[in-house]
Amino acid sequence: MRHRRIARALKKKQMPRTDYLLIIATVLPLASFVLLVFAGKRMGKPFAGYVATGAIGLSLVFSVLALIGWVQGGEYKPAGRTAAISYGMGRTPINLPMHWVPSNYTADAQTKFLNVGVYVDSLTIVMFAMITLVAFLVHFFSLAYMADDKRFPRFFTYLGLFCFSMLGLVLGGTILQLFIFWELVGLCSYLLIGFWYEKKTATNAAIKAFVTNRVGDFGFLIGLGILFYHFGNVSLPDIWSALDISKMSGRGIELANGVWFGPTLLTVMGVGLFFGAVGKSAQFPLHVWLPDAMEGPTPVSALIHAATMVAAGVYLVGRIFPILTPDARLFIAIIGLTTLTMAALIAVAQSDIKKVLAFSTLSQLGYMILAMGVGSWIGGLFHLITHAFFKALLFLGSGSVIHAAHHEQEMHQYGGLWRKIPVTAITFAIAVLAIAGTPGLSAYYSKDMILAHAGGYAGLGAEHSKWYLLFFWVPSGIALVTAFYMMRCWMLTFWGKPRNQHLYDHARETPVLYGPLIVLSIFSIIGGYVGVRTMIEYAMGEGSKIVLDVRGVKEDSPEAKKYDLYATAWPGEPGGSHLPTEARAAVAEGENEPNLTHSQMEFKHYEHIVHTVVVWAFAVGIALGFVIYFKGYAVANALMKIAPLRWIHTWLYRRMYFDELYAAVFVAITMGLARLSALFDRVVVDGLVNFAAHFVKKTSDLAGLNDKYIVDGAVNGLASATQSLGSAVRAPQSGRIRMYVTVLLAAVVIGIAAMIVVVISK
Amino acid sequence: MSAIGLNHYLMLAALLFVCGLLTILTKRNAIGILMGVELILNAANVNLVAFNRFSHGVSASGGVLLSGQIFAIFVIVLAAAEAAVALAIFLNFYNNFSTIDVERAQNLKG
């Protein structure tokens, strides 16, 4: 009764403008950061944690209000427009660009400025809700997890900065803003990986993460540079409207000022921008930093290196999706495929619980990137959200285990822990089932969709080359591996007999630790059907609407068809509301069977296979994991006796020797170059500097001589002359009165005598 | 024996002046020097009075002019004042040096 009244009140009450709510939600963690930077130490434990948790909690409230406001819809009037624009789910997104810096060249005659601004569509709203929810739970979890840490306030300070940066990244309306916040989250990641900087491994991991990300960001900068140089505008809707790939012809895309943007250049730009995502989302070949990043505190791994920051790469690709050429998409799909395969295989052989989860994250990110590559825009972003929930749950669960095991992370030391920490065990099991793709749990829907779309892509491509079939069968096979290694992880941790009795006896869990786990496990279950997918599907249509708005084209005019941004993406569901334009038009005209294009027929065909494949992959993987690890390591050790299996295991355990390879190639080259530069420094630069110093010294010696003999001589000569004159003059001043009188008398006598002489001579 | 005239007075004054001068030149005692100064001043006074007596000291209205005498009186007053100041200086000098020998007063010698 009461909640119905609240619901009615909410329906009646018009929410404040969504963009304002989101800006407040973004700024709150920044306020907490600023406060804690200056006063964090004085607040101390646990008050500093309460401040940060409170701030992100308020952010969560504002995000939820924004979600409600978005579903309700509303109106806003941007500056310089006469008519108000109605925003909301399925309507026009909020786009508020502000002129920042004048730019000399833009292909678009309307704007001569580099813009910054806010862009809000359904995807932004979903991302906000997800980020603030996970961040709040991680903050809450950290209150207990970090309670013994001596730098407790600093931890929450960094978390505040991270939340601000991450929310700013999602809110940003231009690629430039995306880049700025991109670097900020990278910085936070660096600070938090190296949080326990007394450990050499932690600082090394932090530096590795930072440097590896630099490589990716270099590509991002190149892409951004190409975009800015040739197009001169970085606002998302402007880019979409001008460079939408469905308008591409053989010569490329013609810009508003008549310049052609060539297809090769577009591909290079797309791949360049994607390289940013390769760095941040830890895709092959820049994946090496993410497993090492597990040196950071576990809540950080959950928030930054599983749920939010690493997914930012997928978000970026999602935002530039309409301008990616087919070649660029193929490249993206290949990278995603490589990553998801490689990471899943490595995860099978890892013994550190967090390393398993790290490689599992890599693999799942690979799925998302693959999804983007094969045109499954909805699938990729849908999986991003569901993955955020169950992966954050897995990491926080591992945090709870590690906390219970006194910071022991090797699964060799675990076993049978479910009796001691049952809530963690159950929630962890839910996450394992979710990631494995159990029907009914969240990842089943998202992974299913990705595989269906990949199937469609593979089916279309198979007409050119049979290799395209890999895009469907490899991820399907890896779905099985995923189920297996996650089950292995759970079995080794919670099942069987304790392998370390001491550790087992002291294990315990607390409500502050498992509270967030329960919330996350609920979201891991229902994440597939609480409207996340619907929201993301709406975001597709909204993107096209903002482009129509930017172009000034009426929605129902025939020209509007040209501006369907996601015409090259796979639809959400065949026959659903998000078919490509022609099919939608056919439905509208009352045809019973929509004119499905060839690609949709492919998709329909693969959808049937996919459901079977996903269910079987899940069942076989889980069963294998359960059987092999039922008695701890017994079966696994027996299998290891077979030499080829042992070799493969070692190869996988050492992470396919990527670290060694990079150390031998890139690090060695860099070190060699560094030594060479050091030599140059010592011989040439130091030589020049020393010569200059010598020269200056000699010159000053000369100047010193001049000073000593000529300038000083003149001054001293004047002084001694004055002194001798003085002593000559002082002789008469004897102080003897009689002498004065005598002189006086003599002078008078001489004077009188002179007068007499003068008078006489006259 | 002729009557005493102006020249006698002038001779007396000259004699006094020379006495005073010699006193100043020879004495090292400050008070002695002061005495010499007094002698010189009095020589001047004698001259002033004598000149007034032997000039035609009659004004246009027939009154007698006494400017020389008045001048002398002024000199005497000034000499008294000067003696007072000088003696004060000597007293201080004595306090500092336990002597009034002017030869010792050469601290300000250049």
Each residue of A581-635: pLDDT tens digit?
A: 444 444 444 444 444 455 555 566 666 777 777 788 888 888 888 888 888 777 7
Q: What residues of chain A lie within 8 A of the CB of B33, using their CB?
A: 737
Among all residues of chain B, which has the CA nearest to that of A743? B25
DSSP one-letter code for B5: -
Q: Is the CB of residue A126 less than 8 Å from the CB of residue A536? A: yes
CB contact under 8 A, A745 and B33: no
Separation in Å, CA A299 to CA A291, A391, A721: 15, 12, 86
Confidence of residue A571 (pLDDT cuts 50, 70, 90): low
Q: Please give the Cα distance from A485 to A592 (Å, whole number).
A: 46
Question: Which parts of A405-469 fold into alpha helices (H)?
Answer: 422-436, 442-461
Using alpha carbons only, what angle is made at residue A596 by residues A594 and A600, rounded to the nearest 5 degrees? 135
Confidence of residue A6 (pLDDT cuts 50, 70, 90): low
Each residue of A635-691: pLDDT tens digit?
A: 778 888 887 888 888 888 888 888 888 888 888 888 899 999 999 999 999 999 999
Whole-number average pLDDT of chain B: 86
**Local structure of A324: helix, strand or coil:** coil
Residue A410 main-chain phi, psi, to 5 deg? -80, 130
Q: Please give the Cα distance from A444 to A751 (Å, whole number).
A: 136
Residue A154, both tokens:
């600093």
Residue A750 distance to chain B (closest CA, Å): 16
Residue B85 distance to chain A (closest CA, Å): 18
Reference A411, options A353, A360, A356; nearest CA is: A353
Residue A760 distance to chain B (closest CA, Å): 23
Among all residues of chain B, which has the CA nearest to that of A739? B25
| Torsion of the alpha carbons at A230, A232, A236 and A239, rounded to the nearest 10 | -40
Bridge partners of A410, per DSSP, are A352
In this structure, is the dihedral angle defined by the CA atoms of residues A182, A184, A190 and A195, taken in order, positive or negative?
A: negative
Reference A217, options A171, A177, A275, A169; nearest CA is: A275
Can you give the pLDDT at residue A677? 92
Residue A61, both tokens:
């409230």
Each residue of A435-493: pLDDT tens digit?
A: 888 888 888 888 888 888 888 888 777 777 888 888 888 998 899 999 999 998 898 88
Each residue of A340-384: pLDDT tens digit?
A: 999 999 998 888 889 999 999 999 999 999 999 888 888 899 999
- Give mean pLDDT, residues A185-203: 91
Most B CBs within 10 Å, among A727, A738, A749, to test the B interface: A738
Given the structure tokens 């006193």, which residue do they identify?
B23
Residue A110, both tokens:
């309307």
- Give mean pLDDT, residues A105-132: 81
Q: Please give the Cα distance from A146 to A124 (Å, whole number).
A: 31
Residue B77 distance to chain A (closest CA, Å): 24
Reference A479, options A636, A649, A660, A610; nearest CA is: A610
Reference A474, options A552, A366, A586; nearest CA is: A366
Q: Please give the Cα distance from A16 to A26 (Å, whole number).
A: 16
H or E stretch covering A85 = strand A85-87
Reference A307, options A116, A527, A483; nearest CA is: A527
Given the structure tokens 């990553």, which residue do they identify?
A339
Confidence of residue B109 (pLDDT cuts 50, 70, 90): low
Residue A51: CB atoms within 10 Å: 21
Residues of A near B (Cβ–Cβ under 8 Å) read 729-731, 733-738, 741-742, 745
- Give mean pLDDT, residues A558-569: 73
Distance, CA of A428 to chain centre: 26
H or E stretch covering B108 = none
H or E stretch covering A99 = strand A94-102
**Local structure of A128: helix, strand or coil:** helix
- Give mean pLDDT, residues A11-30: 84
Residue A762 distance to chain B (closest CA, Å): 27
| Torsion of the alpha carbons at A217, A218, A220 and A225, rounded to the nearest 10 | 140
Residue A228: CB atoms within 10 Å: 17
Each residue of A221-264: pLDDT tens digit?
A: 999 988 888 887 788 888 888 887 777 777 778 777 777 888 88
CB contact under 8 A, A734 and B106: yes
Q: Is the CB of residue A93 less than 8 Å from the CB of residue A120? A: yes
Reference A475, options A491, A461, A458; nearest CA is: A458
Q: What residues of chain B lie within 8 A of the CB of A733, using their CB?
A: 109-110
Question: Which parts of A552-685 fold into alpha helices (H)?
Answer: 581-588, 598-628, 634-640, 643-653, 658-662, 668-680
In terms of phi and psi (left: phi > 0; alpha: psi -120 to 50; beta: otherwise), the region of A590 is left
Most B CBs within 10 Å, among A729, A736, A737, to test the B interface: A737
What residue type is A587 in one-letter code? Answer: V
- Give mean pLDDT, residues A399-409: 85
Beta carbon pairs, A and B, within 8 Å: 31
Among all residues of chain A, which has the CA nearest to that of B108? A735
Separation in Å, CA A203 to CA A191, A210, A282, A506: 9, 11, 19, 30
Residue A734 distance to chain B (closest CA, Å): 5
Q: Please give the Cα distance from B81 to B37 (Å, whole number).
A: 13
Q: What residues of chain A lie within 8 A of the CB of B107, using their CB?
A: 735
Using alpha carbons only, what angle is made at residue A336 by residues A335 and A342, rounded to the nearest 5 degrees? 90
Residue A753: CB atoms within 10 Å: 10
**Percent of chain A with pLDDT strictly greater than 90:** 31
- Burial class (CB within 10 angstroms; exposed 0-12, middle 13-18, buried 19+) of A340: buried
Reference A484, options A633, A643, A302, A628; nearest CA is: A628
Given the structure tokens 């929810």, which residue do they identify?
A133
**How many Å is the Cα radius of gyration of chain A?**
37
Q: Please give the Cα distance from A170 to A23 (Å, whole number).
A: 11
Q: Please give the Cα distance from A334 to A664 (Å, whole number).
A: 25
Residue A643, both tokens:
């030499």
Confidence of residue A2 (pLDDT cuts 50, 70, 90): low
Each residue of B36-80: pLDDT tens digit?
A: 999 999 999 999 998 888 876 666 776 777 888 899 999 999 999
Q: What is the ipTM of this complex?
A: 0.77
Bridge partners of A651, per DSSP, are none
| Closest by Cβ to B106, choosing from A729, A736, A738 | A736
Confidence of residue B110 (pLDDT cuts 50, 70, 90): low
Q: Please give the Cα distance from A650 to A672 (Å, whole number).
A: 30
Distance, CA of A118 to chain centre: 18
Whole-number average pLDDT of chain A: 84
